[in-house]
Amino acid sequence: MRIAICSSPLLDGHNVRGIGTYTKNLIKSLRGYPDLNIQEFSNINEVKMADVVHYPYFDLFQKSLPFYTKFPTIVTIHDVIPLAYPKSYPAGIKGSFNKHLQVLSLKNVKAIITDSKASKQEIIKYLKVPAKKIFPIALAPADNFHKITDSQRLTNIKEKYSLPEKFALFVGSVNWNKNILNLTKAALDAGIDLVLIGKSFQEKGNLEHPEMKNFKEFLRLYSNNPKIHILGFMDNEDLVAVTNSANVLLLPSIAEGFGLPILEAQVCGVPVITSNISSMPEVAQNGALLVDPYSIEDISKAIIKIISEEKTRNELIKLGYENVSKFSWEKVAQETVDVYKIVIQGAVSKRI
């Protein structure tokens, strides 16, 4: 099979975000299939022959998917959170026009891949795509995430970043759906330091945009708080070590297309607290404490429970290992190849 994959997310700011991670790991995993001929492209005109063209990223408000290509086309839509929460993600006039074009372009794709069953339902609801065209394929942590048993390595990483002895960890962006204010207040109420990792903590962006309102308030309240440690962007090797050093991973988001930090923490043997809504229960299964993301008290109580109850902590670590063992990039690649085959065989229309 000749598969052309758009690798443009690796050439811009998405490279260090979830979309870049997905694109990079997908291409790497697919290259392990001897019967696949993988071509990367940034402009569709570079593709002279393909059985399937795959766009691993769909932007709701910018032109990321062409209206027409001469090859059978698949697109990955990671989430449609901006459509579910339009007050926090206003499209504007240009964005609304582009969204209209993007939705029209979806009518010409043969299949849509998404990260979770929850995202599939959102795509059906907000983009009016037939269910038979949508294939949920769960993601997986990168191979470099693992349990570190070298205590000196963990000591060194704490010294390198001046980390406290005990801390809760958040890894991600500062977008509204990440619930930065509530998770910060909850950590402080629980009496534990909070370490925040993510490039957007450094970039800050337009703080007047509705998407950034919680982050603007976070900066006003906590920029100089000694219990809040903002580390910004971090390379993968150090990120794995810092994750291993954490006492708990916090991801009580309002919404997630998937929630990859859940699995990254589980494979490192770190207890997880995440939301009881959106895709997060689907990803975490019983290997996490599920909380109401709108309740600071609920999040705080979960943190205290993990920190103070050794039995709870050990059980979550055990269940986390069991859960994350079900996810792998080999599985992602195989299920993606299965979608390619279905599209090439023209079998999408036959699905119920």
Q: At 196, which CATH number?
A: 3.40.50.2000
pLDDT at 231: 94
Segment among 2-6, 19-23, 165-169, 172-176 with least mean pLDDT: 19-23
pLDDT at 15: 52
pLDDT at 348: 66
Share of the chain above pLDDT 70, in %: 97
Give the mean model confidence (pLDDT) for residues 19-33: 91
pLDDT at 12: 63
Do 157 and 206 have their domain in common?
yes
Helix, coil or strand: residue 304: helix
Helix, coil or strand: residue 74: strand
- For residue 311, pLDDT over 60 is answered with yes
Do 130 and 276 have their domain in common?
no
Q: Is 146 within the bounds of a domain?
A: no
93 Cβ contact list (under 8 Å, min separation 6): none
- For residue 274, pLDDT over 60 is answered with yes
Q: Is 94 within the bounds of a domain?
A: yes
Do 38 and 116 have their domain in common?
yes
How sure is the predictor about 350, in pLDDT bands with cuts at 50, 70 and 90? low
Q: Is 191 within the bounds of a domain?
A: yes
Residues 77-133: tens digit of each pLDDT: 999 999 999 999 999 999 999 999 999 999 999 999 999 999 999 999 999 999 999
Total domain count, the chain: 2
Do 337 and 265 have their domain in common?
no
How sure is the predictor about 184, in pLDDT bands with cuts at 50, 70 and 90? very high
Contact 77, 30 (CB under 8 A): no
Q: Is 145 within the bounds of a domain?
A: no
Do 161 and 291 have their domain in common?
yes
Which domain does 24 fall in, by range? 2-140+328-350
CA distances from 262 to 3, 79, 188, 256 (A): 31, 17, 21, 11
Task: Put residue 129 in one of left, alpha, beta given phi > 0 → left and psi -120 to 50 → alpha.
Answer: beta
57 HSE (CA, 13 A, CB side):
24
Q: Is 126 within the bounds of a domain?
A: yes
- For residue 177, pLDDT over 60 is answered with yes
Residues 255-270: tens digit of each pLDDT: 999 999 999 999 999 9
pLDDT at 67: 87
- For residue 52, pLDDT over 60 is answered with yes
Give the mean model confidence (pLDDT) for residues 170-199: 97
Give the mean model confidence (pLDDT) for residues 312-317: 98
How sure is the predictor about 13, in pLDDT bands with cuts at 50, 70 and 90? low
Do 84 and 158 have their domain in common?
no
Mean of pLDDT over the chain: 94
Do 54 and 92 have their domain in common?
yes
pLDDT at 133: 97
Q: Which helix (H) or strand (E) holds 229?
A: strand 228-232
Better-predicted residue by pLDDT, 349 or 183: 183
Closest to 50 measured CA to CA, from 108, 3, 110, 8: 3
Do 88 and 118 have their domain in common?
yes
Do 123 and 87 have their domain in common?
yes
pLDDT at 306: 98
Q: Is 312 within the bounds of a domain?
A: yes
Do 99 and 78 have their domain in common?
yes
Q: Is 125 within the bounds of a domain?
A: yes
What are residue 286's phi and psi, to 5 degrees?
Answer: -95, 15
Q: Is 43 within the bounds of a domain?
A: yes
Do 298 and 179 have their domain in common?
yes
pLDDT at 36: 94
- Cα separation, 287 vs 196, in Å, equals 22
pLDDT at 193: 98
pLDDT at 34: 87
Alpha helices by DSSP H, the chain? 18-30, 81-84, 92-106, 117-127, 151-160, 180-189, 200-203, 213-222, 236-245, 260-267, 280-284, 296-308, 310-324, 329-344
pLDDT at 347: 65
Do 125 and 256 have their domain in common?
no
How sure is the predictor about 183, in pLDDT bands with cuts at 50, 70 and 90? very high
